[in-house]
Amino acid sequence: MLETRVADRRAVEIQVLQTLEAGEVGQTGVGDLRTFQVQPLQARQTGKMLQPGTGDLGVLQMKPDEVFQGRQVDQPVIADIGTAEMEVDLTPVGIRRHTANAATEFPNRLDGFVLIGGGCSTHKAHSYQQSRQRDRQLHCSELLADLRDWTTSRDDSCQAAYYYAHPICGCNVCPCQRNPSPRRAPRRTLIPPGGSGILTRSRILPSRRPRSSPATSSSAPLPGVSNMSRPDRSIAIPFFFLVAVLSVVVYVTVTREPGAPSADGEAESPQASADGEAKKPPPPAMPKQVDIGATPDDDETGFVSIFNGQDLTGWEGDERFWSVEDGVIVGQSTPDNLVKVNTFLIWRDGVEVDDFELRFSYRVDGNSGVQYRSEEFGNYRVRGYQADFESGDAYAGILYDEGTGRGALALRGQRTFINEEGRWNQEGFASPEKLGEFIKKDDWNDYTIIAIGDRFIHKINGVRMSEVIDRQRDKAKRSGILAIQMHSGPAMKVEVKNLRIKRRRLADAKKIVLVAGGPSHGYGAHEHNAGVKLLVKRLNAIPGIHAVGYHHNGWPRDVTAFDNADAIFLYMDGGDSHPVSEHIEQVEKLTRRGVGLMCLHYAVHVSPGVPGEHFKKWLGGYYETGWSTNPHWDATVELNTAHPVSRGIEPFQLRDEWYFNMRFREGMQGVVPVLSAKPDKATREGPRASGLSHIQEAEGRVEHIMWAVDRIDGGRGVGCTGGHVHSNWQHDGFRNLILNALVWVAGGEVAENGVQSEPVSQDEIDANQDYPKPEPEPQPEA
């Protein structure tokens, strides 16, 4: 199994011979001047730890006869050169008082630890996170990760949960304790090594007994760890803490395979050194600092306001807390209207953010932050990256990963790199205290968030506060929603104004913005929202493609929606009411800079004149009333196999409302047919072509029903007339053809075998439609 050693004159060696799953753990020992050996006969999950024993120069022994929280514990023994008696007073409701030697050394070097009451389920890991950030060498880190499991909280509000903090690494504050209340944030007293105190269920109280100066060790301490001392006074240590330590020694060892992530996020190396010790690999190399091209602080070019200064149009949150006052977004709770779980005001118009720079001003009395690249999980709750700000001294400017379990990714003055496997490297670039001097308490501060690729920078009042490079495969987020936080707890107030965003072109992907039109023809036809959703899902499975769908039933209300797009896809009703007709100038500017444009089905239909002429320039052609026709027919398609859009597609037959006889550029200049078919005589002479002799008389002519252009501005255009029948997305050929076209129109390279997308199930076809599924018609009785 696993061997773990801590290099110190107080070396710790754990040797587990059998796995926890086997139900037995044997011969776990700590070899040192202070020998500590535990031989449990049954696994921790059985609810019992039997017959542990020790041998040492001095013995600290505890023999409880009672059951603590349903776990029977018999004769646990802790050893130290300095001996202290532990007095246990168990009651049916739990521990009321314990006293013990403050410097008793537990297996993972807990010298100097104190217990703090009042950690909540959101922040109970905070002390662990901070200790890890400050000094990767702290021995407390690994133990704290597992002791998190011993904290207790029945909901998201703070209860009398305990967590552990080290007085040297400064990781002794739960965010909830910045706004004290009798229930959520008990008073905290730091007891240094050699101090003494009494633990109650809510806090540590200093002992009234006098204490003497502790003896100091002559040996050099480890980085971030104090010299050992042997005081003869005691601090409070609850009984479950002893049980936890015993359990952690076993549990940490047996539940990590060689090479798996450890409690502090690093992987154990399966290779051993010459003396047989298993060594951790070094932290990943910090990537070279590169210029990400952030906009100078005094340059507002490209920044667009996302708050109208009058009301919360485009934003959504719990109306009990959010309002607008004098051009400022205000989030406020009162003693009679408290926030019980973290709640958020979400920027709905923006759908999501990816690469961007955000600037805003804030003033806060309490704890808040701005979420970005985050996800909503119901009832205005959000998890993901957070640019933290608060009225205290510790957290403004940090990058906190809200609700994901990773906690603070970078503290103030810290630069963090997280590699693909989730291993961390951290370094300081400035003093947190010095940076804090640039932040104005109880006044307005200017905050800047920069998120470009995998790099994040937070600045307050023009001063860089934290940096992160996050490449962890299962945790890093490429895009997500934007939101403002109100933290749970005592009454608070946060104010935010002057929100401006500048979207940045993606350096590592082609971005496609898909716009869905509103309800149209009824169930199963022109299902724009449902169609866009299933396309976005499959586009985002293609390497190098990032897709986002706007489902606001027409043109996006977010004025920045297309600012960093490589291509735009329009799937909506057209004709005289085509949304593009009111946005000709906007689309013209986008296409001039090379943004691709693709229109599907009714979206290729615009009025002649200005809209029509622009469509010929952008797409190569359009549907013109009185010139084109729109019958429903079975098209046996012919593919232009020389064009990348047709890669991997076999000829197929499919019934749809295939428009034809499009109004193309004069002489088809620059227009390349991709999909063509020959309508039969009945199709040409059907009711949809009534009075159109130029169509009826063209029997036998091949019609182009999908086409592509390479524009002189460097962009690309595609038009396709199919897409009326929603269930046709289940046809592999048609679906993959459209996906090929979207990759190509964005400037991407279509694979040799084309896009091979996930099949569309019937459940997915039925989902997200604008109209309810009609009830089957009753059959006549026989």
Helices (H) and strands (E) in the chain, counts: 11, 44
Per-residue pLDDT reduced to its tens digit, 273-301 = 445 556 778 899 999 888 889 999 999 99
Q: What is the CATH number of domain 510-766?
A: 3.40.50.880
Mean pLDDT of the chain: 74
Compute the distance between CA of residue 150 and CA of residue 138 in angstroms, rounded to an integer: 20
pLDDT score at 278: 62
Is residue 174 within 8 A of residue 129, CB to CB? The reply is no
Distance of CA 317 to the CA centre of its chain: 19
Report the percentage of the chain scoring pLDDT > 90. Answer: 59
Check residue 192 and give its pLDDT: 35
CATH topology of 304-503 equal to that of 510-766? no
Please report the sign of the dihedral spanned by the C-alpha atoms of residue 345, residue 349, residue 352, residue 355. negative
3-state secondary structure of 737: helix
State how far the Cα of 313 lies from the Cα of 323, in Å rounded to an integer. 11
Which residues on neighbouring strands pair with residue 137, listed in sequence order? none
**Confidence class for position 352, pLDDT limits 50, 70, 90:** very high
Q: Which two tokens stand for residue 156?
A: 């998201």
Question: Could you tell me which of 303, 360, 772 has the C-alpha nearest to residue 559?
Answer: 303
Alpha-carbon separation of residue 631 from 525, 571, 656 (angstroms):
14, 19, 8
Among 251, 134, 256, 117, residue whose Cα is nearest residue 183 = 117
Q: Please report, for residues 451, 461, 678, 699, the alpha-carbon distance to residue 445 in angstroms, rounded to integers and kept in the order given.
A: 20, 6, 66, 72
- Asked whether the beta carbons of 690 and 730 are under 8 A apart, the reply is no
- Both tokens assigned to 623: 């549907």
Question: What's the whole-number mean pLDDT along residues 752-773?
Answer: 94
User: CB of 356 within 8 A of CB of 483?
Assistant: no
pLDDT tens digits, residue range 595-606? 999 999 999 999
- Provide the pLDDT for residue 188: 34
pLDDT band at 18, cuts 50/70/90? Answer: very low
| Whether 363 contacts 325, CB under 8 Å | no
* Tens digits of residue pLDDT in 524-564: 999 999 999 999 999 999 999 999 999 877 899 999 999 99
Q: Using CA atoms, how far apart are residues 176 and 185, in angstroms rounded to an integer?
A: 6
Spatial distance between the Cα atoms of 468 and 399, rounded to a whole number of angstroms: 8
Taking residues 702-729, report their average pLDDT.
97
Q: In the chain, pLDDT over 70 holds for what percent of residues? A: 64
Residue 171, pLDDT > 70, answer no
Helix 140-147 / helix 239-254 crossing angle, nearest 10 deg? 100
Banded pLDDT at 689 (limits 50, 70, 90): confident
Output the pLDDT for position 39. Answer: 31
In 553-703, where does DSSP find H-type helix? 584-592, 610-618, 681-684, 693-696
Strand 510-516 vs strand 399-402: parallel, antiparallel, or unpaired? unpaired
Instruction: Fill in the amino acid letter for 251.
Output: Y
348 — pLDDT class (breaks 50, 70, 90): very high
Q: Any idea what the Cα angle at residue 69 is, between residues 64 and 73, rounded to 5°? A: 35
Alpha-carbon span 349 to 675, nearest angstrom: 36
Question: In which residue are the tokens 């690093």 written?
Answer: 266
pLDDT at 206: 34
Phi-psi region at 747: left, alpha or beta (left = phi > 0; alpha = psi -120 to 50) = left
Name the residue with higher pLDDT: 436 or 251: 436
Closest Cα partner for 367 from 338, 389, 337? 389
Query: According to the model, what pLDDT value does residue 776 have?
Result: 83
How confident is the model at residue 468, as a pLDDT? 98
Q: What is the mean pLDDT of residues 216-237?
A: 35
Helices 528-539 & 732-745 angle (0-180, nearest 10) = 70
**pLDDT higher at 290 or 754:** 754
pLDDT digit string, tens, across residues 424-468: 999 999 999 999 999 999 999 999 999 999 999 999 999 999 999
Question: Could you state, in order of their start, the residue ranges of all structural domains in the chain?
Answer: 3-254, 304-503, 510-766
pLDDT of residue 281: 83
Strand, coil or helix: what is 182?
coil
If you average pLDDT over residues 611-635, what whole number do you get?
Answer: 97
Fold of 304-503: Jelly Rolls (2.60.120)
pLDDT exceeds cutoff 90 at 706: yes
Q: Is residue 760 within 8 Å of 729, Cβ to Cβ?
A: yes
